[in-house]
A and B are shown apart, each in its own frame.
Chain A
Amino acid sequence: MIKTPICELLGIKYPILQGGMAWIADARLAAAVSNGGGLGLISAMNADGEHLRSEINKVRALTDKPFGVNIMLMSPYVDEVAQIIIEEKVPVVTTGAGNPAKYMEAWRAAGIKVIPVVPSTAIAKLVARKGASAVIAEGGESGGHVGEITTMALVPQVCDAVDIPVIAAGGIADGRGIAAVFMLGASGVQLGTRFLVAEECGVHRTYKDKILKAKDIDTTTTGKRLGHPVRVLKTPFAKEFLKMEYDSSISNEELEAFGGGSLRAAALLGDEKKGSFMCGQIAALVNKEQPASQIISEIFEEAEKVLCGGTKCVI
């Protein structure tokens, strides 16, 4: 049995969070993860407050376990959704794509646990000082918006930088990954890609098939030129985007416009020509569809075995 401070902090059985993937992490997936003993997350993405409120109500109808909301700080509705989190008394908030400092006081005052995704030690220190309950150190192996530093390098550095629990993300899809980041000092994990193929995940069939088929070298990062790199599968769309990125006759505005709506096209429509199929480098290890609860129990059983065998190299 694996138990860490994250279990107690969040009131969950297994120290695992499901990534707050935009257009993918909805009430059904979040509830399935929470019912399976982890912390399910709804993505507030770029949608307005009422969309989020309706998803929150749906989660509550499906589970009485704790759940969270991921807030994308670049969303045009960020002020509105930040307020709805408080009104709806959401137990946990994770944040991405920016600095959540300006909302943290109000969230904490409302008794909400705030767990920002941090791409560097300085940001980890900053949010720890503002009262974060934990941080998610997310390495560049992960899917979607990524930083430069890898999980292997980032996690121990963040663990050294702050006194609050660290949750590792990026490049983890099985028990070995969990055991490895625990060795680096993390006390929890966040997985996205593996949950893409959970039975309760409503992402388009084509998206799931692509994840199941993906091999080690099948992802790339687009958007570096625009300052916000995104890890995606090397689909025709991604290849075209990369070509345009290296073409100096194409303006940044044209490039932004070409990429607009591409995650929605992948997640909802499975459109290979216009879709950005975001996923982590670990997609190659994701080979079977299972209920979320089974994914969770299986990977922690495996992690336990790996951790127990960890002394075999010590003589």
Chain B
Amino acid sequence: MTTFDKVVELLVDAKDCEKDSIKLESTWADLSLDSLDTVELVMNLEDEFGIQLEMNESLKTVGDVVRAIDEGLEQK
């Protein structure tokens, strides 16, 4: 399972997003997620992957988060 697949799984499970609507280029607004949703998502991803993600403006899309997770996993 790729990082993207896991992120999609979490978005579908925790945020009731439509699986087919989630793309690497999807922004939080595209997925109807507000700032509280994104903080929750990032916290869940940290628990899931055992890494620390800096929650800041650079994480704008699903792809940004996938890249940040992969970088975090490499450094582990």
A residues neighboring B (CB under 8 Å):
99, 101-102, 119-123, 125-126, 147, 227
Contact = CB atoms under 8 A, between A and B. Distances in A.
Contact of B43 (A102, A119, A122, A147): A122
Contact of A122 (B40, B54, B56): B40
Nearest to A147: B36
B63 to A, nearest CB: 22
Contacts of A147: 36
B49 to A, nearest CB: 15
B43 to A, nearest CB: 5
A303 to B, nearest CB: 31
B24 interface: no
8 closest A-B pairs by beta carbon, nearest first, are A122-B40, A122-B43, A122-B39, A120-B36, A123-B39, A125-B43, A126-B39, A126-B43
23 contacts: A99-B39, A99-B55, A101-B54, A101-B55, A102-B56, A119-B36, A120-B36, A120-B39, A120-B40, A121-B40, A122-B36, A122-B39, A122-B40, A122-B43, A122-B44, A123-B36, A123-B39, A125-B43, A126-B39, A126-B43, A126-B55, A147-B36, A227-B34
Interface residues of B, number: 9
Contacts of A123: 36, 39
A120 B40 CA distance: 9
Contacts of A126: 39, 43, 55
Interface string B39-53: 110011000000000
Given A119-B36, A120-B39, 7 more contacts: A99-B55, A120-B36, A123-B39, A125-B43, A126-B43, A147-B36, A227-B34
Interface string B1-41: 00000000000000000000000000000000010100110
Identify whether the interface residues of A are mostly helix, strand, loop, or mixed.
Answer: helix
B38 to A, nearest CB: 9
A125 B36 CA distance: 12
Nearest to B40: A122
Contacts of A120: 36, 39-40
Nearest to A102: B56
Contacts of A122: 36, 39-40, 43-44
A290 B70 CA distance: 58
Nearest to A121: B40
A119 B34 CA distance: 13
Contacts of B55: 99, 101, 126
Contacts of B43: 122, 125-126
A196 B25 CA distance: 47
A32 B24 CA distance: 54
A73 B55 CA distance: 15
Nearest to B38: A122
A121 B40 CA distance: 8
A119 B44 CA distance: 17
A188 B39 CA distance: 25
Contacts of A102: 56
A83 to B, nearest CB: 19
A126 to B, nearest CB: 6
Contacts of A227: 34
A122 B36 CA distance: 8
Nearest to A149: B36
A125 B42 CA distance: 11
A101 B55 CA distance: 9
A102 B55 CA distance: 10
